[in-house]
Structure 1
């Protein structure tokens, strides 16, 4: 019979010291391969497994070099996080200070770019190496409230000895990822941390709520940007004949003429002006316009149609997944959201096809959730277009599909809780 996971939140709410002692015993036993009456929480146990496989030393912390003050400043100026710092400060800093916590904001690389809150706690954080410019990735410093949420793409609280590195066991952290609403990319993590005794059971929900407010602010800013681009585009499109549209740098549509409206167009990662071939439009001409692109479809249908012959699904990295289409006229790459990475992996594993109900079972363990599956696949088709068939859903027969997996199969899509992906990770763990 499997051990029951320790309910850290419930126990720590009444007796933090006792919870810390029990976690220390669970940690020591688990890392030495012994059975214990209580098991670590699944998100912590999986993180510990990644740490053991990657060689992080649980008895000695490792501190990579700090970024210089100039590099921290440069990253701040270039990060989308700078737009939501007022939201994060308003929602977290004053309460964190009063509760003897600090707020920490790190970028997608796990580098600490902002730290604010209790001065006494900031000094304690310095002793742990939790400083401006520090590298707080999970693969560097072990299970923690910055690096672990970045890997699993969901809020995580790490209490006391749930930290993989023993010297962090006097600390408690609650972190939530911040996702760019434009493309689903991770742009950073916001974390509230403090000494063990400051932990509160509501901290994680609080941090997650403020992270969601930050994402909502990013959506508002994006809509404002599109409105400005739309004002620039309107007189230009009014003078044009044929099919054309104006999109922002991420492919979101501001205005169209002569063609149906589509919310977004998949663009190559490095787009430049000139004659190009885009999946949604075919041959077209691209010109810069007001912080975006004017895209005019070529009307000459006598040119032979480009038929890409290979799709490469790259899942080898822990936090970044891409699909690349390679054809006779070159290639283009699209970065995948966590959900789309799961879907394309499942389709690649079932080349003969999968019904909506089958995919719902694979992803959610509930065959009835077909509406969600169909909605996500309609979004995938915006950039993969004719390379996906339906009834059943599958890659086209004339496309070669290559899947690049992590060196260790247990690291496959570590964020994923999809039953089919979890089974694949467990199968890889069997000797």
Structure 2
């Protein structure tokens, strides 16, 4: 489908008389006008998530991450200084309009025009200065109206248009929509003067517990392991838990109700008095959402995106029995989804992360008929190595 979209875009650009050798993307917002646009835009609310999920993993390998508005105008751009300097030569800068109508075929412009994830490789770009770049982009929708509110793009060398990168960008866009679902419309861009602060009373706090030994809570920062365990268990039991039940899930036979009450008192000082109810202990509706919850929701909608959004096991350092059960359940579900989908993207995302030493996954990846021969051969080689290691 992407090649047809690109071909149609080239035809439109020719009809409009765009000169691929001379056209420059218009930079129609700069200075205070751009700052005002950023301060008011809904995509500002998803920046912390984009930075954590996407920026932290791709900019060190020579890529740029761009966040655009629904018109295809670049709003925020992340990347190393040298890579950004190269991109500036073709006006790939905040405030520049990279819509399909303005500059022809490019991933963010086509993704927003057609409302689908798109990748564009090298010479598929209409503008000649962009031929040394490749890109993958996906639209982001308002979770209430369904309208496109912006887009997320990775631009760089050939790997920017790989199956894995497109799946990662798509997963980030879906997570952005989940973030918008829990975020009020008013936003504040850090460091921007004159904007109204974002109201937070009704916005769920995101608890990040996947693949990390340092769990964190949005609006607070790092949490102790015990506090993260309590929040994970309460999130998994929305009906609430008695002190005894919570003690058993935290440390079967090694924790009493008094100790639980002391931990809950400390946790309420962190979260505020209204977040955790008593008798039984329970989270206020909509108060906290975990990144594990988001992966579970994606499993029912988009396996490729779910696997790409799963960085690793839930609270891997925790030995709490209840957490260990949740960790195993989620890990098994994600693995089964990756192996059962028959999708190269899902298997590649799995073997690049938590399943890097999963011989069954490498065997399944090496058996896919539509995989590039070199990738199929590599997957089979890794499978043989793992098989030999496990058999030794």
From the two aligned structures, give the one with the greater helix fraction. Answer: 2
TM-score by length of 2: 0.45
TM-score by length of 1: 0.41
From the two aligned structures, give the one with the greater strand fraction. Answer: 1
